[in-house]
Amino acid sequence: MNILLSWLRDYIDIQVPPLQIADALMMAGIEVEAIHEPGKHLQKVVVGRILTRAPHPNADKLSLCTVDVGQAAPLQIVCGAPNCDPGAKVPTALVGAVLPSGFEIRVARIRGVESAGMLCSRKELGLGDDHSGLYHLPPEAPVGEDIVKALGMDDVVFTIAITPNRGDALSHLGIARELSALFNLPLHRNSLDDARGDGDIREQTAVTLEEPALCPRYGARIVRDVTVGDSPRWLRERLEKIGIRSINNIVDITNYVMMDIGHPMHAFDLDKLAEQRIVVRRAAAGEKLHCLDGVTRALDPSMLVIADARRPVALAGVMGGEETGVTAATRHVLLEAACFDPVTVRKTAKALAMTTDSSYRFERGTNIDNVPIALNLAARLIRELAGGRPVGGLLDAYPAPPPLRRIMLRTRRVARVLGVDLKPAQIETLLLRLKFEVSREGETLWVGVPPFRHDIEQEADLIEEVARLYGYGNIPATLPTLFSQPVLPTPLQRLTGQVRTAMVDQGFHEIITYSFIPTTIHESLREGPPLAIRNPLSEDQGHLRTSLLWGMIDALTRNIFNDEYDLRFFEIGRVFRPDASGFAREADHLCLGCAGPANPADWRHSKEPFDLYRMKGLLGRLGHLLPVEFEFARGNHPALHPARQLEISCQNRRLGVVGQIHPRFRTNKKLPEEWFVGELDLSALSQLKPRKRLMQPIPAFPAIRRDLAILLPKTATFQDVERIVREAGGEILEKCALFDVYEGKGIDPDKRSLALELRFRAKDRTLKEEEVQPKLEAMISQIATTLGGKLRE
């Protein structure tokens, strides 16, 4: 909303600089987004009248003008514009002026002739792009007057953002009222207007109010014999400066009243109203209205309409109908000023997907007392500016004027909430400045709320008003003295922090991807039905993710397309799945994504590719954060390579998957064949029971080490071997570690060799070779019979 300083001065005699006004409003909760002072930088440019024009003696395209600028003698100015016609009034930059372009005017000799100023185009004044000729000013512009004043640029426009609670501030009166409180200045109200006129309105129209709950007050006046035409300059300028297009004098006047006192109005063409009367009712099912914006809208009974005897003629508080609107041919006008229920206006505007200056104000609450004031102000302006004759009186359907709302304010409560000891008299003074009515009973104030302050409903609201005017800056700063119970981080919070550190330590970069996934996502990435968003920004963001895999594959893909191949990403984020009743069940997941080398090649090491086992290791080590031991089994996630994937579980809970991305997602040759992802349910993991950690005594006796290389069919797993070895090794087998896996040259193609490091130790004595040998033999024979393996020679 734009507010004009000169307009504010209709109400308040405020003389402080614009910046100070803006600052005061900001510190009172009214945000000033911009201050526009169009004439601020234009000085020493005046209205000049061209007296004579003669050709320049030494240049074909230049003219030699004499210009009256209100000084004793006319100035001689050389001009290159084609339209420097004698008699024209043009902006004249005097010597010493600095134009917006930075050009400074001096006495100059142009082709041998002295020139003492410059005649200007719009562009040269910074008022637009027109540089075709001089800016011809209106003939009534006084010669010698400062151009800023002559063009009405000596004004200040404040662009103001009003929070939704402050409907009362959506006008010049509203802002002036605020300033009057802030600067403690009197607020003027003009009392020129009354309901006098020719005849009696009650004999010429009628208002039937069928829905007083949705329209507590409806007022109407009639003005006859209007001449619809252009608005006078002052009106046009005021509206245009605040960004409202001038339409015609009648419409401009209703807009003016709205911006002046904050009350939206509407003007009907009286002759076009069936039976020339008004009915305020709900729309009937099936009714339609062709609105002023040219759109025909279907109505329903939840909507309140203004109707004539036959049909709806306006959407109450939102927009008028085109058929009954004011046109050039209109002779008699019925003016409407009313108060509509905010919720109904809002529902109607929302249902029809429209917002108007009117609906915006009604939604935020209007001043019910303004109904007659708006009507009388508009009627007077029409009489003055459109030659109309107001009909006497106003119709005022106002069945139940609300009583003055009174709210109790305990001054002790003010002190307790604000932490500053304000005296009752001080509080009273502050509230009076804000136009509240106050009566004091000891330490309690009874505060009457003016009808424009719909936001003041309870004691806390009054405390805010007191604080606002007292100044938030004047409230001291202290620290709360309360003592509260210690609350530890949840297991998930702790785990999340540890996982983050662990992943960064492994060279992973954290990413944050959107929680949305496309509705067209590949079936294999769905993991069950996702939750759908009713109003997504686009189909690409139509569902909530059920896993982090899609976002990770997308992130890897987009980086690879940017020629970045060395990638290791992790994300920790929420996933959403519907529970049995369709509501979201949420969990925090970790997702890893890797492409490129596992060790970026450096000058000493060559690149090593990521593979399934490295991924397994990266995820597996996270179990130690609790600690728990993960179990890995062959997985069957459809988004992963069918053979190269593992399912992760622990304590009989499935925790996640890890594996190579399914080749179907390699949609472009640029993408690698081997790239990997892993996902872990951190919420589930954090709930697992950690292994108990009890110290084992440090071994006191030496160990015996044996290496075992076993050749066995590829179908036998390491786990099979390990189980046999551990069983046969018994209590004295301290360690069984795999240190080499070999297949290929020199070995039967169906077989591979596993090399194990075994360490035997007894807790209570030095172990003897003879004790170890039978164990080894038992292992070998068991491996031979169960797995078909043998010692590798």
User: Residue 38 and residue 35: Cα distance in Å, rounded?
Assistant: 10
DSSP string, 36-64: E-TTTT--SEEEEEEEEEEE-TT-SS-EE
Q: Are 570 and 682 in contact (CB under 8 A)?
A: no
Give the shortest CB-473-to-another protein separation in angstroms.
6
Q: CA dist 762 to 654, 725, 768, Å?
A: 37, 17, 10
Q: CA dist 515 to 4, 264, 493, 610, Å?
A: 45, 43, 20, 27
Residue closest to 80 by CA, chosen among 96, 102, 65, 97: 65
Give the shortest CB-507-to-another protein separation in angstroms.
5
Give the shortest CB-516-to-another protein separation in angstroms.
7
Q: Are 100 and 41 in contact (CB under 8 A)?
A: yes
Give the shortest CB-28-to-another protein separation in angstroms.
6
Closest CB to another protein among residues 384, 586: 586
Closest CB to another protein among residues 113, 533: 533
State the residue for tokens 């015609």.
Answer: 248
Token pair, residue 367, equals 């001043």
Closest CB to another protein among residues 668, 696: 668
Give the shortest CB-34-to-another protein separation in angstroms.
9
**Binding residue per annotation — 155?**
no
Closest CB to another protein among residues 475, 741: 475
Closest CB to another protein among residues 513, 753: 513
**Binding residue per annotation — 740?**
no
**Binding residue per annotation — 722?**
no
Give the shortest CB-567-to-another protein separation in angstroms.
6
290 forms beta bridges with 296
Classify each residue of 169-204 as buried b or exposed e, where b means 16 or more C-beta atoms within 10 Å of its C-beta. Answer: bbbbbbbbbbbbbbbebeeeeeeebebebeeebeeb
Can you give the length of the chain in residues? 793
Residue 146 DSSP label: B
Q: Are 437 and 447 in contact (CB under 8 A)?
A: yes
Give the shortest CB-600-to-another protein separation in angstroms.
7
**Binding residue per annotation — 461?**
yes
Torsion angle of the four alpha carbons 499, 505, 507, 510, in this order, in degrees rounded to the nearest 10: 40
Closest CB to another protein among residues 191, 535: 535
Residue 673 DSSP label: S
Residue 538 DSSP label: S
Closest CB to another protein among residues 26, 791: 26
Give the shortest CB-365-to-another protein separation in angstroms.
9
Q: Are 187 and 11 in contact (CB under 8 A)?
A: yes
Give the shortest CB-27-to-another protein separation in angstroms.
6
Closest CB to another protein among residues 415, 755: 415
Closest CB to another protein among residues 599, 719: 599
User: Residue 534 and residue 174: Cα distance in Å, rounded?
Assistant: 39
**Known binding site: residues?**
455, 461, 464-465
**Known binding site for Mg(2+): residues?**
455, 461, 464-465
